[in-house]
Structure 1
Amino acid sequence: MTTEGKKCKLRERYCRIAQILLLVAGILLIFFGILMVFLAPYLINSKIRQKKNFAQDSELNYYWENPDYKYRSEIFIYSVNNSHQILSGNKPEMVQIGPYVFGVQVGRNILGYGNRSVKYQSFQSFIFDRNDSCEECSMHRKIIIPNIIFQKFAEISSNPVVSSIAHSSQPFLKVSVDDALFKGYVDPHLASVCTIPLADIICKSWNVPDKIGFLLHKNGAQRVVEASTGSEDGSIEAGELLSWDGLNLLPENWWNSKHARKINGSDGGLYKPFIKKTDKLYLFAPDICRSIHLTFAEEFVYKDVPAYRFIVKEDLLDPAVPGNEAFCHDDGRIFFSEDEKCLPKGLLDLSHCYNGKPPIVFSLPNFLYADERIKKSVIGLNESSVEHDSITLEIEPRTGTLLRIYIRYQINIAILKSQKMINDFNGTDLSKIRSTIVPLLAEYQVVEIGDGKADE
């Protein structure tokens, strides 16, 4: 064989080897490609679960301790415009003043870490933004509101001791907006009444606070909370509340079943990854003394990020829904009829979870989802709408990152007839007063992720 022939044979051998190597490499690439199709989602999901574990010194822990969110609150105040006519049986006519706009500074004070848990105190500070508020929105503006103490006395006015000591109490008070919200006001008659023998016993039994302010508790440090820090395999969700104020269950006198007293969900700061449309998202809301749930409403796009929108629906405050009767209190109050055990649909009685059992009632703004008779019993409110008045949570479903939440609610005072009420109380004819729910304020708070965090 010539030298040239040997070279050709050698080239053919190299070519065959190269072809075989290329074939093997191709097969391996196809194999690894197929493998990655199945493995990549697992690896990504595993990485997401690891990032949702906020144990001490983790990346998530830093963002959780130093939340990159913007907070803004708009508060509308209601003043009674016809207090004397209400005593004659007229519907309350409300004057809405607002919005009072506040910037809200928030943070968390970490108290310590335990076994996959962390104890902390949230704190917040409301800062009045005069420029963004309405022109007539002065914190010193006087408003007329129902007198909680008078209502308490009136409900048990058949008690001769109560009737004799409440001679100076008035059904309505004039207070400043600042005092009604954050500073607290002193009932001008309560201090003197509670020093009278026998009356002091009633005051102590009610545990009446020295000052009454409807957002007094929201400015400053909140109760101590313990939350789960999660686990890397996702078996324990980060952010789930384990206790509130040292309690695993809310006090027995607050609600009427163990299920109603459960502390479900997070404080709103963290949610699990891989959220499905069929999920219910739980949020513990200490201001209304219970956990609430939000259900899927729609898909939408938030700054180019595919997201889910969850909202509070009407089943939350409907006493006809099984289980919701545990949030009722049969205190002998009369609204539509004497045999009712619960307040009408759309209302939540908060009296049992605040000192002194004040007749405070929670609702959504403009009585969204409430019985039509409630809406028609008050003059001066706007038409309610799900878009503007519901509690709404917007979330990136894969990572469980909170994008934006709208916290909307209304605080009201119940003026209700009672089986222990007399018609002539302290010179006031109570026989003509109609049972009604009088709005005090509506808050519209939005919490939105910072631009830098959203880009991540």
Structure 2
Amino acid sequence: NLPFLQRLKFTQFGKNQRYIILDMYLFNCTNTEELSRDFVPNFQEVGPYRFLEYQNKVDLRWNDNDTISYRQQRFFHFDEEASVSDMQENITMLNMPPVVASYKARDLGPLASFSLSVSMKILEKSVWVTKSVKEFLFEGYPDPLLTVSSIFSGDETSKVGFFYGRNGSFTFDGYFNMQTGITDLSKIGTLHQWNYANRTYRYDPGCDDVRGYLGHFFPPKITKEPFYFFSTDICKSVKLHFAEEVEVFGIKGYKFLPDDKLMDNGHTDPEKACDCVGDVCMAPGVLNLTGCLDGVPMYGSFPHFLGADSVYLKNTTGLSPDSNRSTFHVILEPTLGIPLELTAHLQYNTMLQRNPKLSLFEDVPDMVFPLFWVKKQVLINEEVAQKIKLILFLPTLGISCGIGSMLLGLIVIFVSLLPLLFKKTNQPPISKN
């Protein structure tokens, strides 16, 4: 069994300590009436829409191998004051149910393809859908194709939304098994297993190892050596390298960044070829997340395809990659290993593909189509910074107090001896007679 104090510490870990700031930006397509094989979409970025994410750890279980297992429950609260609007405005985006259906129907035979094509034409009418931002994100909207599909599959889900069903859920992020560092403090906060395995099985071997820190705990005495950080958003571990020393509220921190090979897909770094899914290797700058999202054709990149191959921007207008948007970074206080800041940017895209078997998709371009991007931040505030400064100052204070106590003791001893010394020096000389 874990020692009582450690058990208490990780019980507190199960309760929400800090919220995560999520700023969401959606891409409104403004020229959908021009859809053709030579279509060049124009995108208008809409946002930010800020949400405060609170996390609880549930189903906590302490194990005999110095690990703790748990699930992660996430709650999202809309912060209208920090957002561009109340999420009621309508925007136009690709309708994901027919897009997903077309993607999964690539290898269907003629009869099945014809049946699906007729169903789509009757039920969907268009590859586009206009809904409110609120519906696109968490509220969801009903879709006829999804409704019919749920009748045959038994799945009760009849709404679609990028984050539909996630508010309050504790199943989306999987099952975690994390090191407590009881016998080896250097391992505290590292992921031991995810979903009962030491591989994610979302990528080929070599790119699907379960390892790295989860961001809750880091060991003390942080060096400038690289380390791994595990992200459930992309179902993989990211190697972070020391970049520079910075200050956060006057506290010295080490800033770590991924290298520029994170989404290379083996084009310049052969070790990244295992990020390819099957025989398809995306051009650099986009990561195939299809396996991570249960077969939904989603692809990750940095906002506006920052740092990606020019092919992704070639046939679009309205996108503007900005180097001031950091891709991903972690800032750690090196003495105690306290995370001072964590910032991550991730854009979600889908694959729009021509499918001559389906009438809705027989005259569309082949392209990676941006949907939305998210900025995720975990920050300390000034109050927390003051507490960290106090903790960092305690050893110095202890040494100062120790030296002061020792000097005070010497003074007391010296003062107590003064009367004796004074008495001795004032004694009359002893007569020899």
- Common fold, TM-score beyond 0.5? yes
Q: Distance in 2 between matches of 1:274 and 1:112?
A: 28
> Structure 2 CA distance, aligned partners of 1:280 and 1:427?
48
The answer on 1:294 being equivalent to 2:249 is no
Matched residue, 1:403 = 340
For 1:286 and 1:383, locate their aligned partners in 2 and report how far apart those are by CA, in whole Å. Answer: 25
Identity level (%):
24
Segments of 4+ moved more than 4 angstroms: 207-210
1:381-418 CA-to-partner distances (Å, cap 9, x unmatched) read 22321x4141111111222110011121111111134x
- Aligned ranges 1:208-357 → 2 under 5 Å: 210-216=158-164, 218-220=166-168, 221=170, 222-232=173-183, 234=185, 237-251=187-201, 254-257=202-205, 259-277=206-224, 279-319=225-265, 320=267, 321-330=269-278, 341-355=280-294, 357=295
Question: What is the deviation of 1:309?
Answer: 0.8
TM-score, length of structure 1 as denominator length: 0.74
Q: Indicate which of 182, 193, 197 corresponds to 2:138.
A: 182
Distance 1:266 1:71 in 2: 17
Work out the CA distance in 2 between the residues paired with 1:343 and 1:64: 39
Which stretch has the larger CA shift, 65-74 or 100-109?
65-74
Whole-Å Cα distance in 2 between the matches of residues 239 and 429 of structure 1?
50
Return closer, same or farther for 1:129/1:399 CA change in 2, 3 Å cut-off.
Answer: same
- The answer to whether the 8 Å contact 2:23/2:376 transfers is yes
Q: Structure 2 residue aligned with 1:118, among 59, 68, 84?
A: 68
Q: Does 2:96 correspond to 1:148? A: yes
The answer on 1:129 being equivalent to 2:67 is: no
Flag the 1:191–1:159 CA change in 2: closer, same or farther, 3 A: farther
C-alpha distance in 2 between matches for 1:429 and 1:261: 35
Q: Give the SS at the match of 2:319.
A: coil
Higher relative contact order (CA 8 A, sep 6+): 1
Q: What are structure 2's unaligned runs of at least 5 residues?
A: 389-433
- Would the aligned equivalents of 2:97 and 2:145 in 1 still touch at CA under 8 Å? no
Give the conservation status (yes or no) of the 8 Å contact 1:317–1:346.
Answer: yes
Q: In structure 1, what residue type is equivalent to 2:129?
A: L
Listed as ranges, the gaps of 5+ residues in structure 1 are 1-53, 332-340
Residues 218, 192 of structure 1: alpha-carbon distance in 2 compared, 3 angstrom cutoff: closer
Shift of 1:84: 2.7
1:79 aligned partner, one-letter code: N
Partner of 2:428: none
| Contact 1:270-1:401 within 8 A present in 2 as well | yes
Is 1:85 aligned to 2:85, yes or no? no
**Which string of whole-angstrom CA distances, capped at 9 and with x for unpartnered residues, describes residues 23-64 of structure 1?**
xxxxxxxxxxxxxxxxxxxxxxxxxxxxxxx96523754663
Contact 2:146 2:159 in 1 (8 A): no
For 2:353 and 2:219, the matched residues in 1 are separated by 42
Residue aligned with 2:135, SS: helix
Residue 321 of structure 2 aligns with an amino acid whose one-letter code is: E
Q: Give me the whole-angstrom Cα distance separating, in 1, the residues matched to 2:75 and 2:314.
A: 36
Partner of 2:25: 76
1:412 matched to 2:349: yes
Distance 1:209 1:255 in 2: 27
Residue 425 to residue 114, structure 1, CA distance change in 2 (3 Å): closer
Question: Which whole-Å CA distance do the structure 2 matches of 1:55 and 1:282 have between them?
Answer: 28
How far apart, CA to CA, are the structure 2 residues paired with 1:91 and 1:362?
21
Secondary structure at the residue paired with 2:34? Answer: helix
Q: Residue in 2 aligned with 1:98?
A: 47
Query: How far off is 1:140 after superposition?
Result: 2.9
Is residue 440 from structure 1 mapped to residue 391 from structure 2 by the alignment?
Answer: no
Q: Distance in 2 between matches of 1:177 and 1:448?
A: 26
Q: Verify: 1:171 aligned to 2:127, yes or no.
A: yes
Code of the residue aligned with 2:296 in structure 1: it is: P
